């Protein structure tokens, strides 16, 4: 029940009650909550107060209004722990999302030019690039750089549709022991923008990722460019180091 004597505003109390009912499953995702008129009558408050309560939950992304239909519980956003050591494919699968991949550039040795962020700058590395998509919508472009001493013959392997983490474990007997990554907002142009189907003024999440293996620090470096309009990309705290 709402408590008029409480220092907490009535609309906030009602929002908390609705949120508790949502979390309890009384109003599951996709269901319609009572109208503001019904809420006002049930809790003996004015309709503007009921409106404030639903406004608060709409702003928090818990409810969504549909013109002419009512107010509904917003399904939770699909969240992908994209940056786990298990690898990209595993991260999507753990969320129940089917992801496809397509190679944009097949593995080949190449000399890496000056780049203060790339640990292979000034020497050779295996390079390849791939696109990940769900339901035929591109969501992620990844550029990989691998140490040829620890991944010999990579350019002779068929990587189409294969998990890089699984390949490293099964073919090279290497499992990542740690790493670090940095995050920033970027704007793409050229092939990357075309592959992700984003405009030049569309912000994307850009990640630089360094993976260490036993006796092989930063043996794998990758740059990831992620569309954020399809998924919320999450990071499990405590797994990797984050730079400010």
Write the CATH number for 15. 1.10.10.10
Alpha-carbon distance of 163 to 101, in angstroms, equals 9
1 belongs to a structural domain: no
* Same-domain status, 117 and 237: yes
* Same-domain status, 107 and 213: yes
The total domain count for the chain is 2
* Same-domain status, 231 and 166: yes
Q: What number is the average pLDDT over the span 211-222?
A: 87
Residue with tokens 């699984």: 166
* Same-domain status, 157 and 233: yes
107 belongs to a structural domain: yes
* Same-domain status, 45 and 87: no
pTM of the model: 0.61
pLDDT tens-digit series, residues 100-139: 888 999 999 999 999 999 999 999 999 999 998 887 889 8
- Identify the domain containing residue 157 by its residue range: 79-242
* Same-domain status, 92 and 131: yes
pLDDT tens-digit series, residues 193-208: 999 999 999 999 898 9
Q: How many CA atoms lie within 13 A of 171 on its CB side?
A: 16
* Same-domain status, 102 and 140: yes
Angle at 212 between CA 120 and CA 147, to 5 degrees: 35
* Same-domain status, 84 and 115: yes
231 belongs to a structural domain: yes
Q: Point out which residues pair with 72 in neighbouring strands.
A: 32, 64
């Amino acid at each position: 029940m709402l408590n008029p004597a409480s220092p907490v505003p009535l609309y906030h109390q009602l929002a908390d009650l609705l949120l508790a009912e949502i979390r309890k499953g009384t109003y599951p995702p996709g269901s319609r909550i009572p109208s503001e008129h019904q809420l006002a009558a049930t809790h003996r408050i004015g309709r503007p107060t009921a409106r404030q309560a639903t406004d608060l939950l709409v702003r928090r992304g818990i409810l969504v209004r549909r013109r002419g239909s009512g107010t509904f519980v917003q399904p939770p956003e699909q969240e992908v722990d994209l940056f786990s050591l298990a690898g990209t494919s595993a991260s999507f699968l753990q969320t129940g999302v089917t992801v496809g991949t397509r190679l944009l550039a097949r593995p080949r040795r190449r000399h890496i030019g000056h780049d203060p962020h790339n640990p292979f700058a000034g020497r050779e590395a295996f390079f390849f690039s791939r696109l990940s998509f769900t339901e035929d919508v591109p969501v992620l472009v990844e550029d990989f750089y691998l140490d040829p001493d620890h991944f010999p013959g990579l350019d002779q392997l068929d990587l189409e549709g294969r998990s890089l983490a699984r390949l490293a474990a099964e073919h090279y007997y290497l499992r990542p022991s740690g790493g670090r990554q940095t995050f920033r907002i970027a704007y793409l142009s050229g092939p990357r923008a075309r592959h992700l189907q984003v405009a030049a003024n569309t912000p994307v999440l850009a990640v630089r990722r360094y993976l260490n293996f036993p006796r092989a620090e930063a043996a794998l470096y990758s740059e990831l460019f992620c569309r954020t309009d399809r998924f919320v990309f999450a990071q499990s705290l405590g797994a990797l180091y984050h730079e400010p």
